[in-house]
Structure 1
Amino acid sequence: MSQKDALLTKAEKKKLVFLICIILTFTVMNGTMFNVAIPDIAADFSLDPSEVTWVMTSYILVFAVGALIYGKLADMYAIRSLLTIGIILFAGGAALGFFSQSYPQLLAARMIQAAGGATIPALAFIIPARFMPESRGRVFGTVSATVAFASGLGPITGGLIGGTFDWRYLFILSILSVTAIPFLRSWLPHEERRPGKLDIIGALLTAGAVTGLLFFITMLSLTGLAVSIGLAVLFVLHIRNHPAPFIDPGMLKDKYYTTAVLTSFLGTSVMFGMIFIVPIIARQLYGLDTMEIGLLLFPGAMAAAIVGQRGGRFVETYGSEPVLKTAFILAISGSFLLSIFIGVPPLLLSLCILVQYAAFPLIQSSTANLLTELIPSEKTGIGIGMFNLMNFLSGAVSSAIFGAFLDLESTSLQLNPLTLQENVFLQSNLFLAISLTALGALLLFSFIFRNRQREQKEARAAAAEEKTL
């Protein structure tokens, strides 16, 4: 990629960011829209609950692994080529799903969609780091705000389309994404093929380990856990001797990188956990229908969109670390407020959700910006790919753990003495646990990163002294 090609004008950046956010909206909504369609799909194909969950599980499996692999490929191949292939697969899978007449055909469509759709969030965080380094914090904020907003818009859109027409029409929005290809190919800078080879064995071992882990998380499969552990051990042995491993061991040994990814995983688990359990609780405690549940979440999604836009500027002005700490404080506060006020009228509950929702784009944008500071530019793809993989895993982990918690139905144990209602101790305790998870992430991040700025100053001083000698 020449220097001229790498430079984008302000107008070109705005057009490109806008287009990426539109496509990203389709991708995120594609995941959340189908949550509300699961009962209709089960009825159409006469499926048991355990069978119909594969509509979501198959998508998660392929999407999570794909996010990591595309990140690695982005270190070698042109982003616009990867996005072109991804969007074609995404729209093609949607077309197959729209015309599906059998359950196996629907599953195949969802997996093809996931194989293509994984390119979009994976590369949406790499594009600012590569082509807009001077304004990447702001763009990360916009991208993260889009993810948060689309996750809240998905259930409302799914309820409207599925309720008015048929669940198959949910695929229409995904099909429309193919219209973005000419613009992406025109607006994205040209890149030359970079040196490097894909460690296929390492990629397969990683994919197998992640798949086994997801089987364990989503289906409590001990076989999946055993497979995941076994393949993870083989992967560690493999990368020790490979000249160009799929994941650089040195990157994983960097305490700052691993801590940033881990705290992002915990923070995103808190956010996805809230988004997952609020609809269930809203149906159980308040008897809200799908549209009303969507409206309960919508103010938070709007707040996240607004905060995300501002958050990118905060990252550029104050740095990633202070913004990330602020985000965790918001997540702690929102969860704790929900623990106190769960059971009160939905309007007040919506305000508590808003506080926690606002943390989501700040966690995403500040962590993405921090990772670009911690990893070399030639490893941005795989570095961000790990970030995306862990974020996606966080959704599966939080859904499984918090869902199992809600299966208890009720408890007489009151962990939060401030809880206002007496019949909601189980839900209150769950939100308290979420708040403590966010607190743990904040304490871990603060402890590990406490000396980073001093180390950076010492390194700069040593480099300057070496130059004078």
Structure 2
Amino acid sequence: MSNRPSITAAERTPDQTNDEVAAKARKTLIPLLFIYMLGTLCLQAFNLVFQQVGADVGAAGQASLITAVPGVVLGIVCFVYGSLCDFSSLKRMTMFGLVLLWAGSLLGFVLHGSLLEIIVFRAIQTAGFQAAGSVYLVIVARYLHAGRKLLYFGMFTAAYQLATAIGVVSGGVVSAIDWSYLFLIPMASILVVPTLLANLPHTTGKAAHVDVPGFIIFALAVLQLTLFFSDLHWPLLVGSIVTFAVFAVYIGRARDPFITPAFFHNTRWWKAVALMFLFYFTNFSITPLYNAMGASIYGMTSAQVSLVLLPALIIATVSGTSSGAIVGRLGRRTTITLGASLMCLGTLSAAFSVLAGPVALAICIALFYGGMAMLYSPTVDTVLGTLPAEQSGRGVGMNDLAMQGAGSIGIAIFGTPIATNSLSGGNMATNLIGATGAAANYTNLLLIYAAIMVFAIIWFRVNSRSIYAEGTTESEK
């Protein structure tokens, strides 16, 4: 038996205390990921069956709001939660999110007789589960060493892809019984509460003022901008511009704003976060595009299309999980270029395969999703690497906002031509593969998607030297 006196909490050095906090925080990563997966699974399940849900409550014409409104909420809370992680207790934030998640789940299961009730409770669920996702990313950025960060960023995108795959299948299965049971899926998060309570950091390590007015102004500006791209109602764009201008004046004059003008003067960060915007611009619209192709060209149901997409999402799960190892062998710059090239190849090959059959299209979408999952980890690490550690939460929030905002803008732009075949009249698709009508429309859209990815790759290669200019070793690049 040792005779050494035990060290009291008061006698611990700051380094010892920080190491203990970091060790406990790492124990929460898998439970947090579990909650995020449950929320994403529920989100994707409802995305698959929202038309059936709308028809059942007598609001088929407005059924898309079941997806659109929670999407707007998700974009806002991604930023707010991520930013609050720099100022607030991670434990309190996570538990607050869980309470929202459980409330939305139970109330949605009991009260779902109208479209408004479904939208409100789905929005509450979405706001709830994203807290776990934001806290997960901040813990990875703040408490893990460089080599481990890439692994856990990869696990995050792999979990998203896996939850999407399960959600697509479960949405079809559960809706055949009663779609209201989908609301209850996130209640399984109760299982991980004891681990979270025991290990989540309770403070950020510093006392800080929470800038409530700043958050409200910025969230209002983002809300108006997102709704504009969802509905193209021009007064919303004007209102968003005015609100952003008010926000700029506010952070320039406020005594202790949550984000300062200096944050936006970081050109390395601007260039890096633009990558997220470009890479994920087509994220929300690629699945509806494939669904439309399956229905219009091959007479497939949404359930059948989901089975075509399933192998691609499983491949994306493997790609995301392996992305850390790939970066370790190839470096961030090469891995990002490879992932973006696979996305480009997937859309370009799909453009030439519109009439080749569902199997050919399944292979093409696998390239796209596999590339997207591969580049997530090194791109997030690149974005956060342009910021100091004390701004990691705001970096995560802005990064998530760029991803969600890009997807929302993309679906707003491409949603109409997907639904109306408004790009079917050009000669490009006809000259390439002999496609006409709806097939020509989809071919032209896929060629546009490929062109966007070519631009993203060029942007990255041109700006990568300045993005990695400071504090990055050659092996890390």
TM-score between the two structures when normalised by the length of structure 2: 0.89
Q: Is the 8 A contact 2:226 2:408 kept in 1?
A: yes
Number of the residue aligned with 1:73: 84
C-alpha distance after superposition, 1:191-235 (max 9, x if no partner):
455232222222111111111112111112112111111101111
C-alpha distance after superposition, 1:346-368 (max 9, x if no partner):
11110011001111222321121
Displacement of 1:317: 4.4
Pair 1:359-2:371 in alignment: yes
Q: Is the 8 A contact 1:273 1:402 kept in 2?
A: yes
Pair 1:96-2:107 in alignment: yes
**Alpha carbons of structure 1 residues 457 and 382: separation in structure 2 relative to 1, 3 Å:** closer
C-alpha distance after superposition, 1:275-314 (max 9, x if no partner):
2321222222222123211111111111111111111222
- Distance in 1, Cα, partners of 2:288 & 2:397: 24
Match of 2:160 among 139, 143, 147: 147
Q: Is the 8 A contact 1:63 1:117 kept in 2?
A: no
Q: Is the 8 A contact 2:332 2:378 kept in 1?
A: yes
- Distance in 1, Cα, partners of 2:458 & 2:140: 29
Pair 1:32-2:47 in alignment: no
Number of the residue aligned with 1:253: 265
Pair 1:4-2:19 in alignment: yes
Number of the residue aligned with 1:447: 462
Unaligned runs of 5+ residues in structure 1 are 459-469
**Alpha carbons of structure 1 residues 264 and 287: separation in structure 2 relative to 1, 3 Å:** same
* Residue identity matched to 1:122: S
Number of the residue aligned with 1:462: none
- Distance in 1, Cα, partners of 2:466 & 2:402: 25
**Alpha carbons of structure 1 residues 20 and 418: separation in structure 2 relative to 1, 3 Å:** farther
- Distance in 2, Cα, partners of 1:315 & 1:349: 28
**Alpha carbons of structure 1 residues 101 and 142: separation in structure 2 relative to 1, 3 Å:** closer
Match of 1:400 among 391, 400, 412: 412
Number of the residue aligned with 1:419: 433
Q: Is the 8 A contact 1:70 1:385 kept in 2?
A: yes
Q: Is the 8 A contact 1:27 1:120 kept in 2?
A: no
Number of the residue aligned with 1:409: 421
Which deviates further from its counterpart, 388-397 or 147-156? Answer: 147-156
Pair 1:284-2:296 in alignment: yes
Number of the residue aligned with 1:20: 32
Q: Is the 8 A contact 1:301 1:357 kept in 2?
A: yes
* Matched residue SS, 1:76: coil
Q: Is the 8 A contact 1:271 1:356 kept in 2?
A: no
Which deviates further from its counterpart, 358-367 or 134-143? Answer: 358-367
Matches within 5 A, 1:201-350: 201-350=213-362
Match of 1:434 among 449, 455, 460: 449
- Distance in 2, Cα, partners of 1:375 & 1:67: 18
Q: Is the 8 A contact 2:86 2:393 kept in 1?
A: yes
Match of 1:53 among 64, 88, 95: 64
Which deviates further from its counterpart, 426-435 or 140-149? Answer: 140-149
Displacement of 1:126: 1.3
Identity over aligned residues, as a percent? 23
Displacement of 1:386: 0.5
Number of the residue aligned with 1:466: none
Displacement of 1:101: 4.2
Pair 1:122-2:134 in alignment: yes
CA RMSD in angstroms comes to 2.2
* Matched residue SS, 1:358: helix
**Alpha carbons of structure 1 residues 7 and 213: separation in structure 2 relative to 1, 3 Å:** closer
* Residue identity matched to 1:8: A
* Matched residue SS, 1:77: coil
Q: Is the 8 A contact 2:106 2:183 kept in 1?
A: yes
Q: Is the 8 A contact 2:39 2:126 kept in 1?
A: no
* Matched residue SS, 1:413: coil
Displacement of 1:161: 0.6
- Distance in 1, Cα, partners of 2:153 & 2:270: 20
Which deviates further from its counterpart, 388-397 or 446-455? Answer: 446-455
Unaligned runs of 5+ residues in structure 2 are 1-13
Q: Is the 8 A contact 1:155 1:290 kept in 2?
A: no
* Residue identity matched to 2:412: A
Pair 1:387-2:399 in alignment: yes
Number of the residue aligned with 1:370: 382
Displacement of 1:412: 3.5
Displacement of 1:248: 2.8
